[in-house]
Structure formats: structure tokens, C-alpha cells
Amino acid sequence: MSGLRGHDESPIGVDVDTRYLRAAQLAPAGDGWRLQAAVRIPRVAPGEELGPRDVAHLKDTLERLGFRGKRLVLAVPEDKLAVDVLELPPRSSSAPVDQIARTELARTHGYEPDAAEMVSWDLPPSSRARDITQMMALALPHPDADALLDTFEGTGLDVAVLDTHLAATIRACRPLLPDEGLTAVLTVGWDWALLLLWLDGTVIYRRLMPENSLGCLTEAVARNLDLPADAVDCVLEEVGLADHPPTDDDTPIPLDALRTIIRKPINASAEAVRAAFAYAAQMYARSRPASVLVTGQAAAIPGATAHLASRLDADVRTVAPRDLVEAAPAVVQEAGHSALTPAVGLAMYPEGRTRAQPKPHTVAQA
């Protein structure tokens, strides 16, 4: 592994779903970061749990493309997390609030309190709920953590941190998030869409929507238009909802039918954003929507963000790595792909400039 030598670069952020592997590494650039290496590759075994063949493929790709070091910050699959907003005794009471939270989350999700790693944070005081502590808590059960770590055992790659997409996405998008006010962050990936609300420096809301994923959209296009999977990828990437899509007389595409299929999950995501904003308005009377940031693989579909904006009364913009960090010449093209934004956030793990968090069961907080 001569190409994987540690220098001043960040850990390698690795984001995995059932179809793709994505990796990003940063280097210090003044007071910020520069995207030094980045890659998106298909899974060797798509649709399966991450296995040895995928890890070997990832290792070979990292070495060949000049990634440095062996420390990884790996995103935990969202469906493995236990997540809740808890209502607990006020901090001013003598109650052990944090221990109660750990016990309550474990009880709700069916595991022993000591059999998971948990992170939590208090939510801003609500205009509707007084004399209580509202807390958002996320936990990763140890068996799920161990299964991920075992996959990398003996491969020469070191999973130093297990992180969450919530933390990674917020970390990456932080330069675009206001210190005050309300912003939605929507990540649409292959397996799920993840909706977060950011209010006054805190994530107050999380909703996971597998039904609005790119994978479901791809299946719907393939099924309804009778197209093979590789053709669907091209259609979504090149045609999408573009006003003037490229045409191919040899393989005509029913554009009206295609647009109807693509708009369905986008419209559903817009409804989810509106519902989240309504929730914030009820719970936090001072909140007013400021903007919607969209990232993830589906954000690159031509016209998708514009259609989402047409359904919402808010400023909507797509976020790619180039909007957040500098890009080395070798990765300028990759820096334009919104699918890599979470991987960049993983590489930004707070201890990245010096050392990665040594606790393998760590679940990082935004």
C-alpha cells in the first residue's frame, strides 16, 4: 500500500449505499479545506450488505487514485440507527436526564441501554412545550457496529470512526447554514431521502424517506418505460426534467411519461419539506423558512432542483463539494457531483487534521 501514506490529509470519508461507493479526502488550504481526492464507483455486489469484494475494490481504487493514509470515517447505514425526539424532565430538575434518555431510546427500539453508542443534543426551547427538555437522540447498536467493522478487519483499511449522514451532511454544508433562522437540508441518495431541519445552529428534525430514493425512482422508470437499468441511468443523468433534453431518434423516450415518473418523488419530497416547515412553525414560533439545500446523487438530475423549487415557497439550491471547498485540478469534475457532498462531510471529521477518533463505536454528532 505504498500509495496510502498518511501526511497532512484528512481521513478518507467513505459513503456506501447498496449501489455505489463514494470516497473523498481533503487537505488543509489556508483556513479551510481543499478536495484532494474523490471517487464514485459502482458496488461489486449491488443490493447486498457491504462485503469483502467491495472492500477490496475500494482499497484498490483508493491506492490507484492517490488517496493517502488508511484511516476511514465510514457512514453508518441510516436504517441501522435508532432515532427519536425525546421529552424528558427539565435540566433544572435533579433527574438524570441523559441516563433517562439512553434508557428510553433503548426501550423504544428494543435493545439494552449499554448495547449501543448514543449521541444526543438538547433542542431549542419550544413555544409549545414548557418545563421539559426536548432532546434528539441517535444510537447505533453494537452488533450493527461490529458487523461493519468486521467487514474491514484485516484489509489494511482502518475504520477509525463510524459517523452518521446527519452529522456529515451538516458538517459539509455548515458554510451555507445560517447561525440564526430555519433551513432544510434534503439529501436524496440511492437507498433513501433524508430530510433535516437546521434552526439557530441545531438540527431539530430528521425524517428518513426510503420511498423517495433514487433507487425507487430508477425502478419506476425501468418498470413503466420498459428500459434496462443502464439505460435508466443515462436517461436520468442526461434527460431528467431538462427543458431541452438531448434527443436520440434511435431510442425515442416518451418524455411526458418520464417527467411524470420523475416528478412524483420530487413532489413527495416537497410535501415533506412543507410539513417539516409547518412543524417548526408550530414548535418554534419565531422560525421562518430561509432556504432549502439539496444534495445527494438525485440532486444531479437535470431540472430536479428547479422543479422542487417550483413546489416550495423558499430558495432552493443544489450543493456540491465545489460549493464548499476548493478543488485540486485532478478532481475538478468530481467536485461538481452533489453525490459526493456527504463523503466530503465525513472527511471533515473534527479530529481529521491531527488524528481520527480512536473509539471504533463512535457515532459523531453534528
Q: How large a percentage of the chain has pLDDT more than 70?
A: 91
What band does 362 get if pLDDT is binned at 50, 70 and 90? Answer: very low
Q: Which residue has the higher pLDDT, 303 or 7?
A: 303
Q: Which residue has the higher pLDDT, 219 or 6?
A: 219
Question: Per residue in 38-80, pLDDT tens?
Answer: 999 999 999 999 999 999 999 999 999 999 999 999 999 999 9
Cα distance between residue 212 and residue 202, in whole Å: 25
What letter would DSSP give residue 138? E
Gyration radius of the chain over CA positions: 21
Whether residue 248 has pLDDT greater than 70: no
Question: Per residue in 77-134, pLDDT tens?
Answer: 999 999 999 999 999 898 999 999 999 999 999 999 999 999 999 999 887 767 899 9
Q: What beta strand segments (E) does the chain contain?
A: 12-16, 20-29, 32-42, 71-75, 82-88, 116-122, 133-141, 158-163, 182-188, 193-199, 202-209, 289-295, 315-318, 326-327
- The DSSP result for 143-200, as a single string, is HHHHHHHHHHTTSS-EEEEEE-HHHHHHHHHGGGS-SSSEEEEEEE-SS-EEEEEEET
Question: Per residue in 271-282, pLDDT tens?
Answer: 999 999 999 988
Question: Per residue in 169-180, pLDDT tens?
Answer: 999 999 999 888
Mean pLDDT of 15-23: 97
Bridge partner residues of 185 (DSSP): 196, 293
Cα distance between residue 208 and residue 35, in whole Å: 28
Question: Per residue in 194-209, pLDDT tens?
Answer: 999 999 899 999 999 9
- The letter for the amino acid at 259 is R
Question: Per residue in 183-197, pLDDT tens?
Answer: 999 999 999 999 999
Query: In the prediction, which pLDDT does 306 show?
Result: 95
Residue found by looking up cell 428494543 in the block: 110
First to last CA, the chain: 32
Bridge partner residues of 96 (DSSP): none
Bridge partner residues of 119 (DSSP): 138
Residue found by looking up cell 443534543 in the block: 121
- Look at the pTM and tell me if it is higher than 0.75: yes
C-alpha cell at 118: 448514543
Query: In the prediction, which pLDDT does 242 show?
Result: 86
- The DSSP result for 113-129, as a single string, is GGGEEEEEEEPPPPSS-
Whether residue 5 has pLDDT greater than 60: no
Query: In the prediction, which pLDDT does 217 show?
Result: 97
* CA–CA distances in Å: residue 338 to residues 241, 250, 343: 17, 31, 10
Least confident of 254-263, 332-341, 348-357: 348-357
Whether residue 246 has pLDDT greater than 70: no
Cα distance between residue 235 and residue 257, in whole Å: 12
